Structure 1
Amino acid sequence: MTTLNEVAFRLSRRPRSAPRARAVLHAVLGDWGAGQDVLEAAELVISELVTNALRVRVPSDRQVGIRIAHSTTDGLLRLEVSDAGDGCPEVREPGDEDTHGRGLQIVDALTHRWGVSPRAGGIGKTVWAELEAPELAPPPKTTEIAAVTVRAGQSVRVWGRWRTVRSVGTERFATGGLAVVLGLDEGPLLRVPAAEPLAVRGRGAARDDVDLEEGR
Structure 2
Amino acid sequence: MATQNEVIFRLARSSRSVPRARALAHAVLSSWGVSQGTLEAAELVLSELVTNALRVRVPSDRQVGVRIARSLEDGLLRLEVSDAGSGRPEVRVPEDDETGGRGLLLVEALAHRWGVEERTGGIGKTVWAELKAPDIVAEPVGREVAAVLVRPGQWVRVWGEWRAVRTVDTGPYAAGGLAVVLGLDDGSALRVNAAEPLTVWNGGSSSAREGGEDEPG
Asked if residue 42 in structure 1 is aligned to residue 42 in structure 2, the reply is: yes
- 2:143 matched residue in structure 1: 142
What is the alpha-carbon distance in structure 2 between the residues aligned to residue 128 and residue 145 of structure 1?
A: 35
- TM-score normalised by structure 1 residue count: 0.69
Cα offset for 1:32?
Answer: 0.8
Aligned identity (percent) is 61
Cα offset for 1:132?
Answer: 0.1
Alpha carbons 2:4, 2:139 under 8 Å: kept: no
What is the alpha-carbon distance in structure 1 between the residues aligned to residue 78 and residue 198 of structure 2?
A: 22
3-state SS in 2 of match to 1:143: strand
Asked if residue 66 in structure 1 is aligned to residue 66 in structure 2, the reply is: yes
Question: What is the Cα-based RMSD across aligned positions, in Å?
Answer: 3.0
Asked if residue 11 in structure 1 is aligned to residue 15 in structure 2, the reply is: no
- 2:160 matched residue in structure 1: none
Cα offset for 1:138?
Answer: 1.9
What is the alpha-carbon distance in structure 2 between the residues aligned to residue 27 and residue 157 of structure 1?
A: 18
- 1:129 matched residue in structure 2: 129
- 2:89 matched residue in structure 1: 89
Identify the range of structure 1 (3-12 vs 90-99) with the bigger mean alpha-carbon deviation: 3-12
Provide structure 2 residue ranges, at least 5 long, that are not aligned to the other structure: 156-169, 171-178, 183-196, 204-213
What letter is aligned with 1:7? Answer: V
CA shift in 2, pair 1:146/1:4, >3 Å: closer
Match runs of 1:90-169 below 5 Å? 90-140=90-140, 142-148=143-149
Deviations 1:157-201 (A, max 9, x none): 9568xxxxxxxxxxxxxxxx9xxxxxxxxxxxxxxxx9577xxxx
- 1:76 matched residue in structure 2: 76
- 2:167 matched residue in structure 1: none
Number of residue equivalences: 169
CA shift in 2, pair 1:123/1:210, >3 Å: farther
Asked which structure has the greater CA Rg, the reply is: 1
Moved over 3 A (4+): 156-160, 194-197, 206-213
What letter is aligned with 2:143? Answer: T
What is the alpha-carbon distance in structure 2 between the residues aligned to residue 157 and residue 39 of structure 1?
A: 27
What letter is aligned with 1:128? Answer: W
What letter is aligned with 1:58? Answer: V
Provide structure 1 residue ranges, at least 5 long, that are not aligned to the other structure: 151-155, 161-176, 178-193, 198-205
CA shift in 2, pair 1:67/1:15, >3 Å: same
